[in-house]
């Protein structure tokens, strides 16, 4: 189906939404031991659309036991890599077959435009599964050169063990599969805790995992709240690694929680990414890139370009262009066919973003466009917002807003060191964006910026071959690419005396 077409949401999802959802543990669908359920809300309407089981520490314990058993005695790590790869491919195909339904669920649950959901939640996820399936048989150790004579040495890469995957609500399915796929490829088993705001596609993922025949316990899905379910996973003494995406605040608590058994920890956290536009850039493309980079997924994107630094010679032109796009953006429910920007994910997120705009105004920022909740709609709709007259001391410039709000600031400088200092003047270091036709400037500046990712003239979207992650308080480690696969392994060195 053409992803441009609006699906028939009722036909596609009615059965799924009305089902009483359970937890997926050891290949079985089981209710939460407490019997508790929680409401799943459509952010475009504020209405309850489904219910999910509220797992707690006892459910997490059961899921970890299942994952442990599948790792130690089950067939997973010992399965030939081609067997693991084959199942990951089958899962990719199952997602494609269920693409319209999964895209619809993601759009209903998170609010994102259907086109984005279909492209990211289905095509992207299938790509992800196939990319990491390819790694199953390609991991290798080394034969290092050592100084001891008459010894044979080599290293092995082995799966780290039971992985706890904790994911946020902004790209629920892509985040979940982005963690599960590399972990499974190398032979780990997984307990997934999706965000309580967006559990639906994680449940659908578990159904497809069951359908394509993964052995019991290899993937377990426990829906529920950050505390108790997520916290119990972090604290659990039999989990070997936590792979987390979410806020920096929770990321820090995970480091503390993981200390109990010194779990391995990967963290993909927040960002406050700079967009730097030079006067020689293709200004039309730069405007488009800057607008898409902050209004895409309503700004609920860790790599959102939220600090817009524009050379003073073209500042007015760029700001006018971004403002014009903000005015023209069609904001609506994700399943309306012409929607370009959906609602924020929750009332809490709407309050949080509104609170930041209010704080910006109090500190002297000018609202050039937007700044208000969209009235007359029952969902959590926010106007795309451009702030000017902002400076480094304002909270809107320093903190991650995670909404469609960009701070535009002129750069009155041509010195690359000083421009890099401005770009690096943040606790975060996730992504960065440079717009110029001068490749010398682009690549010199790219090396000076302290961020895990630099995108020049737009760069590209997510490609699973390219490492993804941040410097400073944007996280620990990298997802995707070789680094992302190796993050789910331990290295063992073996030496043997030859005489």
Least separation, in Å, of the C-beta of 270 and ligand NDP? Answer: 4
Among 43, 103, 172, 270, the residue binding ligand NDP under the rule CB under 6 A is 270
| CB nearer ligand NDP, residue 60 or residue 136 | 60
Q: Among 170, 172, 168, 192, which residue's Cα sits nearest to residue 180?
A: 192
Among 99, 113, 168, 321, the residue binding ligand NDP under the rule CB under 6 A is 168
Among 142, 227, 362, 438, the residue binding ligand NDP under the rule CB under 6 A is 227
Q: Where are the alpha helices (DSSP H) in 329-467?
A: 347-362, 395-398, 416-423, 439-448
- The angle subtended at Cα 206 by Cα 114 and Cα 190, nearest 5°, is 115
Among 230, 321, 452, 484, the residue binding ligand NDP under the rule CB under 6 A is 230
400 in contact with ligand NDP (CB under 6 A): yes
**Sole window of 3-11, 193-201, 481-489, 490-498 interacting with ligand NDP (rule: CB under 6 A):** 193-201
**Sole window of 60-68, 183-191, 210-218, 246-254 interacting with ligand NDP (rule: CB under 6 A):** 246-254
Among 57, 222, 269, 386, the residue binding ligand NDP under the rule CB under 6 A is 269
Among 133, 302, 331, 487, the residue binding ligand NDP under the rule CB under 6 A is 302
Interface pattern 350-369 for ligand NDP (x via CB under 6 A): --x-----------------
Q: What are the residues whose beta carbons fall under 8 Å from the beta carbon of 494, sequence distance 6 or more? A: 153, 154, 155, 156
| CB nearer ligand NDP, residue 7 or residue 305 | 305
Asked if residue 95 lies in contact with residue 122, where contact means CB atoms within 8 angstroms, the answer is yes
**3-state class (DSSP) for residue 348:** helix
End-to-end CA distance of the chain: 66
398 in contact with ligand NDP (CB under 6 A): no
Q: What are the residues whose beta carbons fall under 8 Å from the beta carbon of 177, sequence distance 6 or more? A: 125, 128, 129, 205
Q: Is 280 exposed, middle or buried (0-12, 13-18, 19+ CB in 10 A)?
A: middle
426 in contact with ligand NDP (CB under 6 A): no
The residue sitting closest to ligand NDP, measured at its beta carbon, is: 226
The catalytic residues are: 268, 302
| CB nearer ligand NDP, residue 130 or residue 352 | 352
Among 51, 69, 155, 253, the residue binding ligand NDP under the rule CB under 6 A is 253
Q: Is 94 exposed, middle or buried (0-12, 13-18, 19+ CB in 10 A)?
A: buried
What is the rounded CA–CA span in Å between residue 9 and residue 352?
30
Least separation, in Å, of the C-beta of 363 and ligand NDP? Answer: 19
Q: Is 104 left (phi over 0), alpha (psi -120 to 50) or beta?
A: alpha
240 in contact with ligand NDP (CB under 6 A): no
Neighbours of 311 (CB within 10 A): 21
Least separation, in Å, of the C-beta of 355 and ligand NDP? Answer: 11
| CB nearer ligand NDP, residue 275 or residue 302 | 302
What is the rounded CA–CA span in Å between residue 90 and residue 82?
12
Residues at the interface with ligand NDP (CB under 6 A): 166-170, 193, 195-197, 225-227, 230-231, 234, 245-247, 250, 253, 269-270, 302, 349, 352, 400, 402
């Amino acid at each position: 189906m053409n992803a441009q077409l609006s699906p028939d949401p009722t036909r596609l999802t009615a059965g799924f939404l009305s089902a009483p959802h359970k937890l997926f543990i050891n290949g079985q669908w089981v209710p939460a031991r407490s019997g508790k359920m929680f409401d799943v809300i459509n952010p475009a309407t504020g209405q309850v659309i489904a219910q999910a089981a509220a797992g707690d520490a006892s459910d997490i314990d059961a899921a970890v036991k299942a994952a442990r058993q599948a790792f130690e005695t089950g067939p997973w790590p010992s399965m030939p890599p081609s067997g693991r790869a084959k199942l990951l491919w089958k899962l990719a195909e199952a997602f494609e077959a269920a693409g319209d339904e999964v895209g619809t669920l993601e759009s209903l649950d998170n609010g994102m435009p259907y086109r984005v959901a279909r492209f990211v939640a289905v095509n992207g996820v299938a790509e992800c599964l196939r990319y990491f399936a390819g790694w199953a048989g390609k991991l290798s150790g080394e034969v290092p050169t050592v100084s001891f004579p008459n010894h044979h040495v080599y290293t092995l890469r082995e799966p780290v063990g039971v992985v706890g995957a904790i994911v946020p609500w902004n790209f629920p399915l892509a985040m979940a599969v982005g963690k599960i796929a590399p972990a499974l490829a190398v032979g780990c088993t997984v307990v997934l805790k999706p965000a309580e705001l967006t559990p639906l596609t994680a449940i659908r993922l578990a159904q497809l995992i069951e359908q394509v025949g993964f052995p019991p316990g290899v993937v377990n899905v426990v829906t529920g709240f950050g505390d108790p379910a997520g916290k119990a996973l972090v604290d659990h003494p039999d989990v070997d690694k936590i792979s987390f995406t979410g806020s920096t605040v929770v990321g820090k608590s995970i480091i503390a929680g993981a200390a109990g058994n010194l779990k391995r920890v990967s963290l993909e956290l927040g960002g406050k990414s700079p967009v730097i536009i030079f006067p020689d850039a293709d200004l039309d493309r730069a405007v488009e890139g800057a607008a898409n980079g902050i209004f895409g997924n309503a700004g609920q994107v860790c790599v959102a370009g939220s600090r817009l630094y524009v050379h003073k010679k073209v500042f007015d032109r760029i700001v006018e262009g971004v403002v014009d796009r903000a005015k023209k953006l069609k904001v609506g429910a994700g399943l309306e066919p012409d929607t370009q920007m959906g609602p924020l994910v929750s009332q809490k997120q709407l309050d949080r973003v509104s609170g930041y705009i209010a704080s910006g105004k109090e500190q002297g920022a000018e609202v050039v466009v937007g700044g208000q909740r969209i009235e007359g709609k029952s969902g959590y709709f926010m106007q795309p917002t451009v702030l000017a007259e902002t400076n480094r001391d304002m909270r809107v410039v320093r903190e991650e807003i995670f909404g469609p709000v960009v701070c535009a600031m002129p750069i009155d400088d041509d010195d690359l060191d000083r421009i890099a200092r401005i770009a690096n003047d943040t606790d975060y270091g996730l992504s960065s964006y440079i717009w110029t036709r001068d490749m010398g400037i682009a690549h010199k500046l790219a090396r000076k910026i302290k961020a895990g990712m630099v995108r020049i003239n737009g760069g590209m979207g997510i490609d699973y071959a390219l490492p993804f992650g941040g410097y400073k308080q944007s996280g620990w480690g990298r997802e995707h690419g070789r680094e992302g696969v190796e993050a789910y392994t331990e290295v063992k060195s073996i030496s043997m005396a030859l005489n």
